[in-house]
Every structure is written in C-alpha cells, then in structure tokens.
Structure 1
Amino acid sequence: MSKRLLGLLLAIAGPFLWGSSGIVAEDLFNHKIDTIWLVAIRMLISGILLLAYGMLKNEDIFQVYHNKMATIKLLLFSVLGMTSVQVTYFMAIAKGNAATATILQYTSPVMVIVYLALRNWQRPTRVEIISVISAIIGTFLIVTQGNFSGLAIPLSALIWGLLSAVGAALYTLMPISLLKIYDAVPIVGWSMLIGGLLIGIFDQVWNKTPQLTMVMWLEVIFVIIFGTMLAFLFYLQSLAYIDPTTASVLGAVEPLTAMILGVLFMHVVFNGYGILGAVLVIGVTGLQFLGTKESY
C-alpha cells in the first residue's frame, strides 16, 4: 500500500468515525442519557488517553505550560474552542438529530470566511462569496425541507446547530498559533481534559451517572474511543502522507456518514429539498478546495 493511499484511507476513517459517533450519541440521548454527562465523560477520558499517547511517543506534554502566554491561550482554547464545540454539537443532536446537527456544524467554514474578511477588512474572493451563499441556501433548505412556512426541526436544534458551527470556527482559528509551536496531540489532549473537568465540576456530573445497559456502555465506549480518540489520531496521522487541503476535503465524509446512517438507522427523513441543502452545505468544502488551488 502506498503512503498516499494510506493517508487517504486514514483521512476518510477519521471523519467516518466522527460521523458515526454522532449517530451513536443520538441513540444514547433517545434513552434519556444526560447530554452534559456524556460530553464530560467523553472529553475527560479522551483527553487522558491522548495525553498518554503523547507520552508513549516521548513527547513533552507539559511543554506548553513552560510559557505563560501559551498557557493562557491553551486555557482560552479549552473553554471557547474545544468545550464550546463539544457542548453545542451534542446539544444540537439531543434537540434534533445527528445528521442535521453535523450538517449545520459543517457551515463553520462560512463563519471563518466572514470573520477573516471582517478582521482583515478585505473583500471576500469570488469563491468565498459563492461558498457563503451556498451555505446559507443549503441551511435554509435543510431546516425547512422545502416547507417555507415553518421549520422541519425544532428551533432549539437549529440554534444549537448554528452555535456548534460558531464553536467549530473558534476551534479552527484559536489554536493556530499554538500548533505552530507545539504538537497537536498534547494541545487537543489538554484542552479536552481541561474542558471535561470544567463542565464536569460545574454540572456535578457525578450526580448524573445513568443506569446503563451493556449495549449502552458499549455505545459510550464507542463514542469515547472510536468517535473521539481514534478519529482524531487517524485524521492527524493522515497529514503525514497527504496535504491538509486534501484531508479537509475528505472531511466531508463526516456529514455524509451522519446523514446516511441517520436515514438508515435513526429514521431521519430528508426530502429532495433537504438533500439539495445538504449537497450545497457539504459542497462548500469543495469550493474552498478550488479557491485554494486558484491561489497557487
């Protein structure tokens, strides 16, 4: 197997597991599992496992704390980036469904485009303008399913879904300066551990531990191990064999996975308008790829 093929497979496997874990989480929420409890447990254990993985690779996982400014940036990222995207995404699933939540979160590139245009006071490129319009129209079609007199999903699910897109944008933008200096594994590991501790203590999740069946425990383990730790490691490892732009385009596997599995197993219904909306939102990644190619 060539290194490029291995990289492509890893870049597909990561988003596939992310999308699958959303469906599994939805099933847990349907069994009345507390949303914040699952988020806290997911972040805590995944953070510990990622830091342990970093130590096994002989990385200095405490290096970031040697610099005061880097420590402050890590703490801010842990709260505003990592924790916000985890909580808002899972709340969007709990209030609606994983397929719609994942697609709505996928509008985050538009948030990044708008932010950078305002920060740099620079007119967006033609591709970026088309991306914004595509995402807006796609989101409108998804949440209405063509019935323009009302929403096809609860308003709360729409709000949490859009907030998760904002969280994903922050998650993308905030750690850039840190990742130029430190490895991604300890940065993500610490931010997950810190975020998990903060929301766990704030919400006193030890008082909300549910009674789980064996199947539900297996689902929790899947969300933690496969849907978080391995998904992240696969995606990260793919960057050693393929370029980041290709990897980001293959990230479209995540909403596609959530959409297909949602239809097959969670009885989510997308009519023609909804499918067109999903294509428009997911297609933003392809447009960004074209925009990147044009810039060379």
Structure 2
Amino acid sequence: MLQIKNNTKLKGMSLAIAGPLLWGFSGIVAQFLFTTYQLSPKWLVCVRMFGAGLLLLIFGYGTIGRQIFNPWRQRATALKLVLFSFLGMLPAQLTYFMAIHYSNAATATVLQFLSPVLIILYLALTQWRLPRIADLIAIFCALSGTFLLVTGGHFSHLNISVLGLSWGLLTALSTAIYTLAPRRMLTEFGSVTIVGWAMLLGSFGMLPFVRQTPFAQTALNGLGWLAILFVIIFGTLFAYLFVLKSLEYVAPTVTSLLGAFEPLTSTILTVLFFHIAFGLSALIGTALIIATTLIQALVPAKK
C-alpha cells in the first residue's frame, strides 16, 4: 500500500514538474523566434492560442463528448465566457509574449510571478479584511525582489528597458485577472472546456494584427516552423494537460510549489542560450519573487 502511494505521489510530482518545465522552455523558444526571425509576437500569440485552443477542445470532446458545448447553452454563461476570452485570456497571453519580446524569457516569467501579490491585494480590498502576516511577507518579498531584478540594486538605472518592465508588470496584472475571473466557470464546466474555448475565441481578437505582413523579418525555415509547433503543442497543450493531470495525484499546494520550476527553467536557459548575465542582485530578486508563490502555497488559507 505504501509503495502504491509513493508511486502515485511520484507520478503526480513528475507531471507537476513537467508542465512548468515545458512552459519555461516555451518562453525560451519564443525568445529564439523573436531574436532569430524577428517574428511578430502578436502573430505568435494568435497562432498559439488558436492552435492550442482547438487541440484542447478536440481533447475535451474525446474525453467528455458534447459536454464541451455546455457553456453555450445559457446566455449568461456564454457572455461570461466571451468576456473572459477577450479580457482575461487574451491579455494574459499577449502581455507575456510582449514582455519576452522587449526583455527576455526569464525576466518576463519572473515578473509574471508577481500576480499572487496582486490577488492578495484584490481579495483584501473586496473582502474587507486585513492581509495575513504571511501575505505581508509575500508583498515585501515581491516589492524587494522586483526592485533588485529591474535595477540590480541601483536606483540610478534599470537593467531592462522601460517597455520590458511595463509589459512584465502588465503580465502580472493580466495573470491575476486570468486567475480570478473564471473560477465559477471552471468549477461548473471544467478547466479544459473553459480554457479551450477562451484560447480559441481570444485568438480571433488578434486577427487584425495577424493580417499585417510580413509576420517575420527573416523567412522561416524548417527549424522556425518546428519552434512554432513546439510552442503550440508542447509549450501550451501538453504543459497545461500535465499540470491538470497532476492534480489527480497530488494536492494543489504541491502543484503550486512545483510551479517554481517555470521561472527557474527560464532563468537557467536564458543564461545558457542567450548569454544574458544575471548579477547577484537580480538573482536574489528572482528568488524573492518566486518566494511569494511558495509562501502562499505553504501557508494555509483562512477558512
């Protein structure tokens, strides 16, 4: 019995690690596309969302059948899904890739991990309750970490461009909205259904930008198209399904903790492949920002 439990836990942890690893690799591959082919991030966002959304819905149809159409059977739910697609899913995807485009994959991913702090502040304001001690520690870590990451510990200059910082902070904001907005729909209809439809619908919002040509300054070769397929299939579809599947074997707390592999992967690969140096201050800042998520996962929420 103990052996079975250990195997189950190991399987869940492996899946919970594999998802963030793929997300981390996806950011690196996107940066490769932006720097090598000068690929338009807006074009990549559209293609990624359309491809991954369609594949998720096909997967959902294969597992739960026509239930994937249930959100469209009620006018109120359908409206909420459309709003989430364009105001939640699309901004979360677009800001992340724009942040990579104007900075790098590591910085964009780390700044994205500021979203738990924004969620803390939102819940404190809407529920009229003071943040816990753990929440205050998380906020301090986030603010200190952001300062060290973007300035290297010096007030006189920024380590990244203003556009890179701006898009990175918008990534954190849009990720917080993306996390909070669909909670009831996710409970009622399931994650695959809601995320699949939201990605597919949200991709239509990028069509006006996709029609602009050329979408890449350098012609895409076989390697470039393989990189795009990787972002869609492995960096989105499989990454999401792995994390979702891990919840069947381990607690959400464990999955949240292991999500830290995403910024760690992005940081290590950014240094290795793009030779972007991170000073000691920036590395400490990265660790502090990641710690905000770990604190929230480790400290149990109030009932």
Q: TM-score range by the shorter chain?
A: over 0.9
CA contact (8 A) 1:128 1:291 kept: no
2:51 is aligned to: 45
Task: Provide the C-alpha distance between the structure 1 equivalents of 2:266 and 2:74, rounded to a whole number of angstroms.
Answer: 40
Alpha-carbon distance, 1:90 to partner: 0.3
Alpha-carbon distance, 1:76 to partner: 1.3
Instruction: Give the 3-state SS of the residue equivalent to 2:131 in structure 1.
Output: coil
Instruction: Give the 3-state SS of the residue equivalent to 2:153 in structure 1.
Output: coil
CA contact (8 A) 2:138 2:295 kept: yes
1:252 is aligned to: 260
> Are 2:28 and 1:23 equivalent residues in the alignment?
yes
Alignment size in residue pairs = 294
CA contact (8 A) 2:15 2:242 kept: yes
Q: TM-score, normalised by structure 2?
A: 0.94
Task: Provide the C-alpha distance between the structure 1 equivalents of 2:271 and 2:97, rounded to a whole number of angstroms.
Answer: 18
Alpha-carbon distance, 1:175 to partner: 0.8
Task: Provide the C-alpha distance between the structure 2 equivalents of 1:39 and 1:179, rounded to a whole number of angstroms.
Answer: 23
Question: Could you tell which deviates more after superposition, 206-215 or 32-41?
Answer: 206-215
1:238 to 235, 246, 263: 246
Indicate the RMSD between aligned Cα atoms, in angstroms. 1.3
Give the 5 Å matches for 1:87-106.
87-106=94-113
Structure 1 unaligned regions, length at least 5:
none
Aligned AA for 2:131?
P
Task: Provide the C-alpha distance between the structure 2 equivalents of 1:179 and 1:75, rounded to a whole number of angstroms.
Answer: 14
CA contact (8 A) 2:53 2:196 kept: yes
Task: Provide the C-alpha distance between the structure 2 equivalents of 1:78 and 1:122, rounded to a whole number of angstroms.
Answer: 30
Task: Provide the C-alpha distance between the structure 1 equivalents of 2:276 and 2:220, rounded to a whole number of angstroms.
Answer: 25
CA contact (8 A) 2:256 2:294 kept: no
Task: Provide the C-alpha distance between the structure 1 equivalents of 2:32 and 2:220, rounded to a whole number of angstroms.
Answer: 13
Task: Provide the C-alpha distance between the structure 1 equivalents of 2:255 and 2:210, rounded to a whole number of angstroms.
Answer: 38
1:205 is aligned to: 211
Post-superposition Cα deviations, 1:111-165, rounded to whole Å, max 9, x if no partner, equal 1001111111211000001101100100110001123211000010000000000
Alpha-carbon distance, 1:209 to partner: 4.2
1:4 is aligned to: 9
CA contact (8 A) 1:40 1:199 kept: yes
> Are 2:173 and 1:166 equivalent residues in the alignment?
yes
2:281 is aligned to: 273
Post-superposition Cα deviations, 1:84-124, rounded to whole Å, max 9, x if no partner, equal 01000000000010000000011000010011111112110
2:117 to 110, 113, 120: 110
1:36 is aligned to: 42
Aligned AA for 2:21?
F
2:88 is aligned to: 81
1:225 is aligned to: 233
Q: TM-score, normalised by structure 1?
A: 0.96
CA contact (8 A) 1:36 1:205 kept: no
1:123 is aligned to: 130
Structure 2 unaligned regions, length at least 5:
none
Task: Provide the C-alpha distance between the structure 2 equivalents of 1:48 and 1:105, rounded to a whole number of angstroms.
Answer: 25
Post-superposition Cα deviations, 1:71-93, rounded to whole Å, max 9, x if no partner, equal 11111111111100100000000
1:177 to 162, 173, 184: 184
CA contact (8 A) 2:117 2:139 kept: yes
CA contact (8 A) 1:37 1:208 kept: no
Alpha-carbon distance, 1:295 to partner: 4.4
CA contact (8 A) 2:60 2:68 kept: yes
Task: Provide the C-alpha distance between the structure 2 equivalents of 1:90 and 1:172, rounded to a whole number of angstroms.
Answer: 18
> Are 2:219 and 1:214 equivalent residues in the alignment?
no
